[in-house]
Structure 1
Amino acid sequence: MTGKDKHPSGRLLTVAQVAERLNTSERYPRRLIEERRITFVKLGRHVRIPETALDEFIAAGLVEPVRLRMRRAA
């Protein structure tokens, strides 16, 4: 979700669904919400996380492997 796009598109996930997808307890997604580290939607007392925001959060933490060249013994 871009900064200009204020309307979430796609599915809105519950905290439980986000926790299941991240393979963590519900405490971790709630902490992300509290610390404002992930985009969320407030619907009354309920909190939902757009699936696109979760995908972006996961992609932001992606670390590519480093390819090392093997040296030849001289």
Structure 2
Amino acid sequence: MSESLLDVDGAAQRLGVSIRWVRRAVAERRVPFVKVGRHVRFREDDLSDYIERQTVPAVEVR
């Protein structure tokens, strides 16, 4: 398995948010992450799943 991990900067770019938001989300355990020693890393698949879970479906208007 050679899945690459994103750092905080990469995760912020992938999610379209600030680095500060990512760090706060990690502290609040709102996004899945991996600890590598003292470093925080993110699997791209986990971030994609997170985006899917946060997606709000449209409501049909008649």
1:40 aligns with 2:33: yes
Which residues of 2 match residues 45-64 of structure 1 at below 5 A?
A: 45-64=38-57
Equivalent residues, number: 61
TM-score for both structures, normalised by structure 1: 0.72
Answer with 1 or 2: which has the greater Rg: 1
| Aligned pair partner of 2:8 in 15, 38, 56 | 15
Q: CA deviation at 1:11?
A: 2.8
Q: Give the root-mean-square deviation of aligned CA atoms.
A: 1.5
TM-score for both structures, normalised by structure 2: 0.83
Structure 2: 5+ residue runs without aligned partners? none
Structure 1: 5+ residue runs without aligned partners? 1-8, 70-74
Q: Which residue type is aligned with residue 16 of structure 1?
A: D
Paired-residue identity, %: 46
Runs ≥4 residues deviating over 6 A: none
